[in-house]
C-alpha cells in the first residue's frame, strides 16, 4: 500500500492555508463523485477498476498467449495517453536489460507512432525486417497523425511480408466504439478490436485495454494490476481528510499558492523513469490550463543529481519535489574490499549498493529541504503489478481533485488540439484550408 509523507512539505506551508486546501479538496472529491463538475461526462475512469471483468482480462490474456512464441516483437502504436501508461508499467516491471538479449519468454515490446522522427521510424523498420512481429494500434480519436502514419507503414509491411490472413492474426486495434478512421479501417479489415469508452480520455485510459492489453502481451499479470486498482478505488475516494489523495492534492495546491510553481517527480530506480513520464502527461495535460497550474517535470536520481542537482539545491526557489520510493529489489550486491584502498571507498566494504542508495535518498532529501525545496514522499513498497494498479488510480484521483480546486476542466486538452489542427492545416488536410 502507498504511504504518503508530507511532513517535509507542510513545514513550508501556513497551517491555515493547508486547512483551506484540505476543505477545497474534499469538496472537489464530492464534485467528482457526483459527476457535477466541468467535464463530468469524462468521469468514466472513476469506475474503471470495477469494469475490468474476467472477460476483459481473458480477452487480453488470450491474445498474449497467441503471440507468445509466435512473434518476436510486438509494436505498440500510440501517442500520449495511448501509450504512456502501458510503457511505464512495462518498463517498471521488466528486467532492466530485457531489450539487450536477456532471455525472455514473451515478445519484445517496442513503440511507434509516438513521434515523427523519420530516423527512428526507418531504424524500426530495419529492426522489424529481421523479425516476426504483431501490432497493437491504439488511438482514441482514430485520427491522430503520428499513430496513423505508423500504422499505415506497419500494416502494409505485415501484409506484404506475411499475407493478409496472417496480418489479421497479428493486428489488434483499440479505438473509439463508433467513430474515427481507425474504427472504420478496423471494421473493414475485420481486425480484433477493443474500444475505449467515450467517458475516458487518453491519459486516464491505462486501466482499459489501452494499458491492459500491452501489459498482458509483455507477460505481466493484469488481474493483479486490476486488484491494486480496485483496492485503490475504495481507499482514495473516501470522504476523509486523511485520504492520501486529498492530502496530496491539498499540499500541492498550498505549495502552489505559496509560489512553488514546479513539481519535480523523482525516483532512485531507473525503472520508474517512465512512470514519471506518465505523471508528467497526466498532470501537464490535465491541469495546465487558463494560464494556471504547477509545471510537472522529472528527474532520475542519483543520475540527475550530477546535472539538475545544482539548480534544485541552489537555483530559484520555485520548486518542490515528489519522490516515489520503492523497497528496492534484485539480489544483495555487497561491496568488497580492495587492497590498499586505491579507490578510497573501503569505508563502504560490507555495505550493499542498496544501503548506499538509501543514504543518498536521505542525504538528498535533507539537503534539498534545508535548501528550501519542499519534499513529498510516496513509499510504494514492492514494484509489482498490484502496486502499479494502485498508483495509477491514486494519481488519477489526486489529479482530478487538483483540477477542480484549481478551477479547470481536468479532462479536456484544447491546447493539444491546437497543435493537431495546425499540423493538419500545414499539411493540407482537407477541411482545414480556412485555418
Ligand atoms: O490524454 C489524451 O487525451 C491525449 O494525450 C491523447 O491520448 C493523445 O493526444 C493521443 O490521442 P488519440 O488516442 O486520439 O490518438
Instruction: Verify whether ligand 1 is closer than 6 Å to residue 203 (CB atom).
Output: yes
Give the CA angle between residues 108, 112, 117 to the nearest 5°.
Answer: 130
Residue 201 Cα to ligand 1 middle (Å): 7
DSSP, collapsed to helix, strand or coil, labels residue 338 as coil
Q: Are residues 230 and 214 in the same domain?
A: no
What does the pLDDT read at residue 27? 98
Q: Are residues 254 and 355 in the same domain?
A: yes
Question: Which among 187, 218, 249 is the end of a domain?
Answer: 218
- To the query of whether residue 368 is one of the catalytic residues in this protein, the response is no
- Say yes or no to pLDDT of 433 above 80: no
Asked if residue 84 is part of any domain, the answer here is yes
Q: Are residues 345 and 387 in the same domain?
A: yes
Q: Are residues 291 and 326 in the same domain?
A: yes
- C-alpha torsion angle, residues 157, 160, 161, 166 (rounded to 10): 100
Instruction: Verify whether ligand 1 is closer than 6 Å to residue 235 (CB atom).
Output: no
SS3 labels along 370-422: HCCCCEEEEEEECCCHHHHHHHHHHHHHHHHHHHHHHCCCCCCCHHHHHHHHH
Percentage of the residues of the chain whose pLDDT score is greater than 70: 100
Asked if residue 241 is part of any domain, the answer here is yes
Question: Which among 218, 245, 269 is the end of a domain?
Answer: 218
Residue 387 Cα to ligand 1 middle (Å): 25
196 φ, ψ (degrees, to nearest 5): -100, 125
What does the pLDDT read at residue 415? 85
Q: Which residue has the cell 515523427?
A: 116
Residue 305 Cα to ligand 1 middle (Å): 32
Instruction: Verify whether ligand 1 is closer than 6 Å to residue 201 (CB atom).
Output: yes
Nearest CA to ligand 1 atom 8: 80
Residue 186 Cα to ligand 1 middle (Å): 18
* Residue 353: all three cell numbers together: 549498493
Strands 73-77 and 192-196 turn out to be unpaired
Instruction: Verify whether ligand 1 is closer than 6 Å to residue 79 (CB atom).
Output: yes
pLDDT in tens, 343-396: 999 999 999 999 999 999 999 999 999 999 999 999 999 999 999 999 999 999
Nearest to 145 by CA among 167, 116, 168: 116
Instruction: Verify whether ligand 1 is closer than 6 Å to residue 397 (CB atom).
Output: no
Per-residue confidence at 221, pLDDT binned at 50, 70, 90? very high
Residue of 285, 326, 385, 386 marked catalytic:
285
Residue 42 Cα to ligand 1 middle (Å): 14
Can you tell me the mean pLDDT for 109-123? Answer: 97
Instruction: Verify whether ligand 1 is closer than 6 Å to residue 155 (CB atom).
Output: no
- To the query of whether residue 285 is one of the catalytic residues in this protein, the response is yes
pLDDT in tens, 272-312: 999 999 999 999 999 999 999 999 999 999 999 999 999 99
Can you tell me the mean pLDDT for 251-268? Answer: 98
Nearest to 181 by CA among 434, 430, 435: 430
pLDDT in tens, 393-415: 999 999 999 999 999 999 998 88
Q: Are residues 121 and 213 in the same domain?
A: yes
Nearest CA to ligand 1 atom 9: 80
Asked if residue 56 is part of any domain, the answer here is no
Our mutation pick for probing the ligand 1 site, out of 44, 45, 77, 82, counting the most ligand atoms within 8 A of Cβ, is 82
Query: Mean pLDDT lowest for which of 27-36, 100-109, 263-272?
Result: 100-109
What does the pLDDT read at residue 435? 59
Q: Are residues 375 and 274 in the same domain?
A: yes
Asked if residue 384 is part of any domain, the answer here is yes
Atom in ligand 1 nearest the alpha carbon of residue 81 = 7
DSSP, collapsed to helix, strand or coil, labels residue 146 as helix
What does the pLDDT read at residue 394? 98
Query: Can you name the residues that pair with 377 across neighbouring β-strands?
Result: 5, 323
Instruction: Verify whether ligand 1 is closer than 6 Å to residue 192 (CB atom).
Output: no
Query: Can you name the residues that pair with 378 across neighbouring β-strands?
Result: 4, 324
Q: Are residues 186 and 289 in the same domain?
A: no
What does the pLDDT read at residue 424? 87
What does the pLDDT read at residue 420? 83
- Say yes or no to pLDDT of 172 above 80: yes
Instruction: Verify whether ligand 1 is closer than 6 Å to residue 77 (CB atom).
Output: no
Instruction: Verify whether ligand 1 is closer than 6 Å to residue 180 (CB atom).
Output: no
- Say yes or no to pLDDT of 434 above 70: no
DSSP 179-243: -SHHHHHHHHHT-EEEEE-TT--GGG-TTSHHHHHHHHHTT--HHHHHHHHHHHHHHHT-SSTT-
Instruction: Verify whether ligand 1 is closer than 6 Å to residue 205 (CB atom).
Output: no
Asked if residue 424 is part of any domain, the answer here is no
Instruction: Verify whether ligand 1 is closer than 6 Å to residue 202 (CB atom).
Output: yes
Residue of 15, 190, 291, 306 marked catalytic:
306
Q: Are residues 254 and 163 in the same domain?
A: no
Atom in ligand 1 nearest the alpha carbon of residue 180 = 14
pLDDT in tens, 306-347: 999 999 999 999 999 999 999 988 889 999 999 999 999 999
- Say yes or no to pLDDT of 422 above 90: no
Q: How many domains does the chain have?
A: 2
Q: Are residues 109 and 244 in the same domain?
A: no
Q: Are residues 89 and 232 in the same domain?
A: no
Strand ranges of the sheet holding 73-77, from the earlier edge strand across to the other edge? 108-112, 73-77, 133-139, 171-176, 192-196
DSSP 256-270: HHTT--EEEEEESSG
- To the query of whether residue 420 is one of the catalytic residues in this protein, the response is yes
Percentage of the residues of the chain whose pLDDT score is greater than 90: 91
Q: Are 148 and 166 a contacting pair, CB within 8 Å?
A: no
The domain of 292 spans 3-37+226-406
- Say yes or no to pLDDT of 103 above 80: no
Question: Which among 201, 218, 235 is the end of a domain?
Answer: 218
Asked if residue 418 is part of any domain, the answer here is no
- Specify the CATH number for the domain of residue 310: 3.40.50.10490
- Alpha helices by DSSP H, listed for 288-352, are 309-314
What does the pLDDT read at residue 20? 98
Asked if residue 343 is part of any domain, the answer here is yes
Can you tell me the mean pLDDT for 79-108? Answer: 92
Asked if residue 57 is part of any domain, the answer here is no
Nearest to 328 by CA among 401, 379, 386: 379
d(CA 402, CA 286): 9
Residue 417 Cα to ligand 1 middle (Å): 9
Q: Are residues 302 and 365 in the same domain?
A: yes
Nearest CA to ligand 1 atom 3: 202
Q: Are residues 141 and 199 in the same domain?
A: yes
- Say yes or no to pLDDT of 188 above 90: yes
Amino acid at each position: 500500500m502507498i504511504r504518503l509523507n508530507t511532513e517535509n512539505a507542510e513545514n513550508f506551508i501556513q497551517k491555515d492555508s493547508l486547512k483551506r486546501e484540505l476543505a477545497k479538496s474534499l469538496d472537489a472529491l464530492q464534485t467528482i463523485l457526483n459527476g457535477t463538475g466541468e467535464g463530468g461526462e469524462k468521469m468514466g475512469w472513476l469506475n474503471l477498476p470495477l469494469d475490468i471483468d474476467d472477460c476483459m482480462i481473458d480477452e487480453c490474456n488470450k491474445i498474449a498467449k497467441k503471440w507468445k512464441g509466435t512473434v518476436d516483437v510486438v509494436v505498440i502504436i500510440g501517442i500520449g495517453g495511448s501509450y504512456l501508461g502501458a510503457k511505464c508499467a512495462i518498463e517498471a516491471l521488466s528486467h532492466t536489460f530485457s531489450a539487450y538479449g536477456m532471455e525472455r519468454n514473451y515478445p519484445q515490446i517496442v513503440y511507434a507512432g509516438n513521434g515523427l522522427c523519420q530516423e527512428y521510424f526507418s531504424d524500426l523498420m530495419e529492426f522489424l525486417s529481421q523479425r516476426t512481429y504483431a501490432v497493437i494500434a491504439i488511438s482514441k480519436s482514430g485520427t491522430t497523425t503520428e499513430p496513423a502514419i505508423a500504422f499505415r507503414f506497419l500494416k502494409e509491411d505485415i501484409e506484404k511480408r506475411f499475407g493478409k490472413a496472417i496480418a489479421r492474426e497479428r493486428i489488434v486495434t483499440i479505438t473509439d466504439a463508433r467513430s474515427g478512421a481507425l474504427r472504420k479501417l478496423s471494421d473493414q479489415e475485420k481486425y480484433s478490436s477493443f474500444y475505449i469508452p467515450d467517458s475516458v480520455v487518453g491519459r486516464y485510459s491505462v486501466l482499459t485495454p489501452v494499458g491492459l492489453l500491452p501489459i498482458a502481451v509483455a507477460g505481466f499479470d493484469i488481474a493483479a494490476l486490476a486488484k491494486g486498482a480496485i483496492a485503490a478505488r475504495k481507499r482514495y475516494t473516501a470522504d476523509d481528510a486523511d485520504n492520501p489523495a486529498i492530502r496530496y492534492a491539498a499540499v500541492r495546491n498550498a505549495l502552489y499558492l505559496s509560489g512553488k510553481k514546479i513539481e519535480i517527480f523523482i525516483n532512485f530506480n531507473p525503472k520508474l523513469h517512465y512512470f514519471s513520464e506518465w505523471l508528467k502527461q497526466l498532470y501537464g495535460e490535465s491541469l495546465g490550463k487558463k494560464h494556471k497550474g504547477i509545471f510537472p517535470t522529472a528527474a532520475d536520481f542519483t543520475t540527475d543529481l550530477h546535472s539538475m542537482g545544482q539548480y534544485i539545491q541552489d537555483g530559484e526557489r520555485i520548486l518542490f519535489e515528489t519522490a516515489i520510493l520503492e523497497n528496492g529489489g534484485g539480489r544483495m550486491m555487497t561491496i568488497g574490499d580492495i587492497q590498499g584502498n586505491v579507490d578510497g571507498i573501503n569505508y563502504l566494504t560490507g555495505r550493499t549498493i542498496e544501503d548506499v542508495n538509501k543514504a543518498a535518498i536521505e542525504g538528498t532529501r535533507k539537503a534539498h529541504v534545508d535548501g528550501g525545496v519542499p519534499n513529498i514522499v510516496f513509499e510504494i513498497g514492492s514494484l509489482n503489478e498490484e502496486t502499479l494498479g494502485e498508483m495509477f488510480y491514486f494519481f488519477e484521483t489526486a489529479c482530478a481533485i487538483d483540477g477542480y480546486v484549481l478551477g479547470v476542466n481536468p479532462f479536456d486538452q484544447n491546447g493539444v488540439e491546437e497543435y493537431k489542427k495546425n499540423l493538419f492545416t500545414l499539411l493540407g488536410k482537407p477541411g482545414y484550408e480556412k485555418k
